[in-house]
Amino acid sequence: MGQLTLYLLWSCLATAPSASPVTHSKAGIFHGRYLPGFDQDVYLGIKYAPKPVRFSSAILTKNAPETNFNVTQYGVDCMGYGSDENILVAGGWTELGEDCLHLNIVKPRTDLSGLPVLLWIYGGGWQQGATSDPRYNMSYIVRQSAAINKPVIGVSVNYRMAAFGFLNSIQVATNGTQNIGLLDQRLALQWVNKHISSFGGNPSKVTIWGESAGAYSVGDHINAYGGNNDGLFRAAIMESGGAVGAPLNGTDWYQRMYDNLTASVGCADAEETLECLRSVPYETIAPYGYQGLEWFHTLDGRFIREWGQTSLTTGAFAKMPIILGTNTDEGFGVDGVNTDTDAIKQLMYSKRWNLNEMEARRLLELYPNNPALGEPYGWGNRTWPQYGLQYKRFCSIATDLAMFAPRRLLAEEMSKYEPVYSYRWDAPKFNNTPTTIGINHFSEIPFVFGNTEQQITPLGNGTENLGLSTLVMRMWVSFAYDLDPNGHGVSGIASWPQYRQNSSNFVFRTDESYIEVDDDRAEGVAYINSLVR
């Protein structure tokens, strides 16, 4: 076989539909993977930052235009636990977990350039999560974008979590390294801004998208630096979270957690406790660094300069079109609330609320102990005394504090400047059973990712579930594509109005979705939104 024949054969194989994709950029030469079942090119585990110094801000990966990178597998999860086959260390913790700042790119195989970008930030209480989680597989939603001729590029990012991303104390504040998990996300956005055009994306058409702690992160990026987003994104989607809600506790709150961590790993008596924590082997510190769902974002005077309510009511946020919403029964209550005294104690001293006694008592007045009015909603007078005699009452208060009231405040304030599309999710996450109460937190995730194959939160193959999943995925990509969720191409669906037109929500249901006026619990929500938390 002659050289010309070999060359022609190689050329045909290299350009065949099944050929592995290669992208040349200033960041390097990336060798990805082709997914024939989706007709997509994927680039997995792209490092946007080298391994950072523990409890320090990361730096952007240096350009390496001539360096080849194999990006066909997900990178290491930031949890750094040895159960993953890539980091198997006898089932224990591995320091590879600190070298986890990767992002993934999923794109339809198309010759088009300038595609909008839909960038996912996972939730998990800033405590857990990973882009490799099959529940967050972006291939399904990217496939829907191609199906309605509005192709988008999907991007998902890893970031440091728990103590490794959100440590705070007097020592940390002095060092200026609070909120480094959020700064990791910001660095990933900067990488996308610099390099996504090489993959066919448009850096001026990025929509950031998250759920729960991911949605709070999106809200933080909207409020960050007084509302200066440096052109890193033009729109946002926030599911069950936003720019207000999770406590922005100061160093006093976190000092106890910091002191417990130093004591647990033998650094309490060190002259420089932060430096001591940096020198402790990862497998020693990791089990303590991931304990408890208490690692929240914090006021740092730089990235997060002020309370979320202050940012919103003074206009100190980045103005842009947004989609945001909550699930009917988010379920952010506390078990064991039996009396008014129990409720007041939780509202005053819980890590989530931190209200004073006057505020707590006023909330009890606004949310009477009437089971018919409580959450989960729509269950009448049914109660669950095993969870507390005031379970439904406290769930209503807690959910409105954490989710529902902040969602309304953001919709009201943002809609003064830009289009806002607000929703309420009213479909169970899968095959509701007597042990699953209401439409709770995370219920929408199987639908918006549409993964019918994975088993953790299965969507199933029922016609109604699949139909709703198709609708919400197409709404999300339509919004990312042209900033309007109504270009989804599904017939028989009510038009989703902008919030400023009539203060309404689009209600997602498996039987028939509809539009409702956004006036539930108006007095209680208004009072919550008058508080600075």
Active site residues: 212, 330, 441
Q: Is 31 helix (H, G, I), strand (E, B) or coil?
A: strand
Helix (H) or strand (E) holding 190: helix 180-195
**Cβ neighbours of 291 (radius 10 Å):** 16
Sheet containing 504-508: give its strands across.
Answer: 33-35, 40-47, 102-108, 153-157, 115-121, 201-211, 235-239, 322-327, 420-425, 504-508, 514-517
Alpha carbon distance 362, 216 (integer Å): 26
Compute CA 272 distance to the chain's CA centroid, rounded to the nearest angstrom. Answer: 34
H/E element, 205: strand 201-211
Backbone φ, ψ for residue 218 (5° rounding): -60, -45
Q: Which residues contact 178 (CB under 8 A, 6 or more apart)?
A: 166, 167, 168, 172, 298, 300, 303
Q: Is the peptide bond before 368 cis (omega within 30 degrees of 0)?
A: no
How distant, in Å, are the alpha carbons of 171, 254, 257, 268, 363 from that of 272? 9, 18, 17, 9, 44
What secondary structure, in 3-state letters, does 372-389 show? Answer: HHCCCCCCCCCCCHHHCC
Nearest one of 129, 127, 125 to 156, comparing CA atoms: 129
User: What's the angle, vertex CA 32, arms to CA 22 and CA 158, rounded to 5?
Assistant: 130
Residue 332 structure tokens: 């952010």
Report the distance separating Cα 131 and Cα 99, nearest Å.
Answer: 14
Q: For residues 420 and 451, what is the distance between their CA atoms, to the nearest angstrom? A: 27
What span, in angstroms and rounded, lies between the C-alpha atoms of 13 and 8? Answer: 9
For residue 33, what are its two tokens? 């993977």
Collapsed DSSP state (helix, strand, coil) of residue 297 = coil
Tokens matching residue 295: 């690692």
